[in-house]
Every structure is written in structure tokens, then in C-alpha cells.
Amino acid sequence: MRRLVIVVAFLASGLAAGAVEKEKERPAENLQDVQAHFARCFRPPHGAKASQVTFHFSLNRDGGIIGEPRIAWFKFEGSEKSRTLIEARFVEALKQCVPIPLSKDMARMAPGKVYFFRFMLEAGKSGDAEMNIGPD
């Protein structure tokens, strides 16, 4: 399984979740383009410091998620109530990034493949996050 890694910086000040202008975005031609889309779009929820989450999901031909994205792994330091809230916010943040505009070839290849999206935020690092995405 090939994994691609990208380090993204996000601004905690005033950026709305999913602030990608999808109309102007070039259709994703490959997995690197899908990863770049998430890097531009995905904004972790407030209060997610020192969190790690791994989603798994499949895309449909239109670049939407088939069913609900599932959390395969989640690390969070805090109360159970806060954990449940942050977990739900991570799912919502991911949903804000779809549909992903796909090229004709990618729309033909993407459906049915399981993709893993891993987000890691280190405590004490202001604004730096590491994001991995790859097919199963």
C-alpha cells in the first residue's frame, strides 16, 4: 500500500471549515490531487490538539463519500464527553471537503476503493498538522 504524506499548515483564525471554492478547483486526476484537495480543504476542529484520527471511506463517481465516513482509529486526550464531541466534529470537517471534483478517469477508478485519511496534530505545535491519504 502506497501512502502519500503532506504537511499542511492551517490557520486557527477565522478560516471556515471546507473553505475551498469547488467551482474553480481543477478536477483530481490522481491520488496526489485528491490529497492536495484535502490539504487545502480540511480544517481540524477547535480543541483537537494532540489528536490523531484515521478515517476510511469510499468515493462515488461524483466525488462524494459513499455512506458515512468511518473512524478506524482515534487518539484524543481529554474527557469522554469531549472525545465524543471532537470525534463528531472531525467527521463533519471531512464531510465539508466533499464532493471532490474528479476527472473522467478518476471518476471511473475511484468508486469502490477504500481510502484511508489520517490526520495528526501534535501538542504544542502551533498550526502544523500532518495528513496522509492512500488507498487500501
Q: Residue 124 belongs to a domain with what CATH number?
A: 3.30.1150
d(CA 20, CA 42): 9
The amino acid sitting at 48 is A
| 15 falls within a domain | no
In this predicted structure, which of 28-32, 48-52, 65-69, 92-96 has the lowest mean pLDDT?
48-52
Using 50, 70 and 90 to split pLDDT, how confident is the model at 102? very high
Residue 91 within a domain: yes
Q: Is 46 a domain residue?
A: yes
CA angle, residues 1, 117, 123, in degrees to nearest 5? 120
Domain extent for 92: 26-135
The answer to whether residue 4 sits within a structural domain is no
102 beta partners: 28
Least confident range from 65-69, 96-100, 103-107, 118-122: namely 118-122
Q: For the chain, how many structural domains are there in total?
A: 1
